[in-house]
């Protein structure tokens, strides 16, 4: 059994690089750890068969849109058997900090969503009340207009009947004068 210690530099922190290394190392059946270093590099310590360690070393050179390995310094030594499995070492409370930030952002998002929902509910209630008020106002206005039209029709009818009677009277007088 051998040990591989590798120092990987490039764009390898806050990119998901350690999670990829963890998966690869476990797929090869290796034991050890992957850890962020304060200088921006990632340290990989793995123990296992020489062929598997060589495969891991080759697989550490990841280049994609997020991860960009620039350099890998590696050394081999005798394995110690100190590890039970392959793990991602978390130092300096980084996961706790990320979880705290995520929890804080999620809390803010929930508060904002609740405010928006309350505003939507209030607006909906206001619109419903306004709709009801408008319907009531429209119904009252319609009833008032219909009533006024009926009164105008009655007045117009009475006025027309009065005029018709006068016209008939005038026509009768004209006929009488002309002797018809």
| Secondary structure (DSSP) of 33-79 | EEEE-TTS-EEEEEEE-HHHHHHHHHHT--BSSS-EEEEEEEEEEE-
Q: Domain residues of the chain, as ranges?
A: 2-91
Separation CA 85–CA 105 (nearest Å): 34
- Average pLDDT by stretches of 10, the chain with 180 residues: 97 90 96 94 97 97 94 96 92 60 82 94 91 90 89 84 88 84
Separation CA 3–CA 33 (nearest Å): 11
CATH class given for the domain over 2-91? alpha beta
Helix residue ranges, H only, the chain: 17-27, 50-59, 94-178
What are the φ and ψ backbone dihedral angles of 65, each rounded to 5 degrees?
A: -70, -20
Summarised one tens digit per residue, pLDDT across range 118-161 is 999 999 999 998 898 899 899 999 888 998 888 888 888 888 88
Catalytic residue, candidates 36, 41, 85, 163: 36
Catalytic residue, candidates 3, 18, 20, 41: 18
Separation CA 62–CA 11 (nearest Å): 10
Separation CA 41–CA 91 (nearest Å): 13
In this predicted structure, what is the pLDDT of residue 106?
A: 87
Separation CA 109–CA 116 (nearest Å): 10
Query: How far, in Å, are 72, 136, 154 from residue 159 at the CA level?
Result: 108, 34, 8
Does the annotation mark 36 as catalytic? yes
């Amino acid at each position: 059994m051998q040990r591989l210690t590798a120092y990987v530099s490039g764009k390898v922190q806050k990119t998901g690089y350690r999670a990829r290394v963890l998966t690869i190392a476990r797929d090869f059946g290796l034991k050890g750890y992957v850890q962020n270093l304060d200088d921006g590099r990632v340290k990989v310590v793995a123990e296992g068969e020489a062929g598997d360690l060589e495969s891991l070393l080759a697989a550490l050179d990841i280049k994609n849109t997020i991860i960009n390995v620039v350099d890998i310094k590696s050394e081999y030594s005798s394995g110690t058997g100190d590890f039970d499995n392959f793990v991602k070492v978390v130092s300096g409370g980084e996961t706790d900090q990320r979880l705290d930030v995520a929890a804080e952002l999620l809390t803010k998002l929930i508060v904002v969503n609740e405010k928006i929902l309350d505003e939507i509910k209030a607006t909906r209630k206001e619109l419903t009340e306004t709709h009801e008020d408008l319907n009531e106002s429209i119904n009252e206005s319609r009833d008032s207009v219909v009533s006024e039209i009926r009164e105008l029709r009655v007045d117009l009818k009475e006025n027309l009947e009065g005029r018709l009677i006068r016209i008939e009277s005038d026509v009768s007088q004209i006929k009488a004068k002309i002797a018809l």
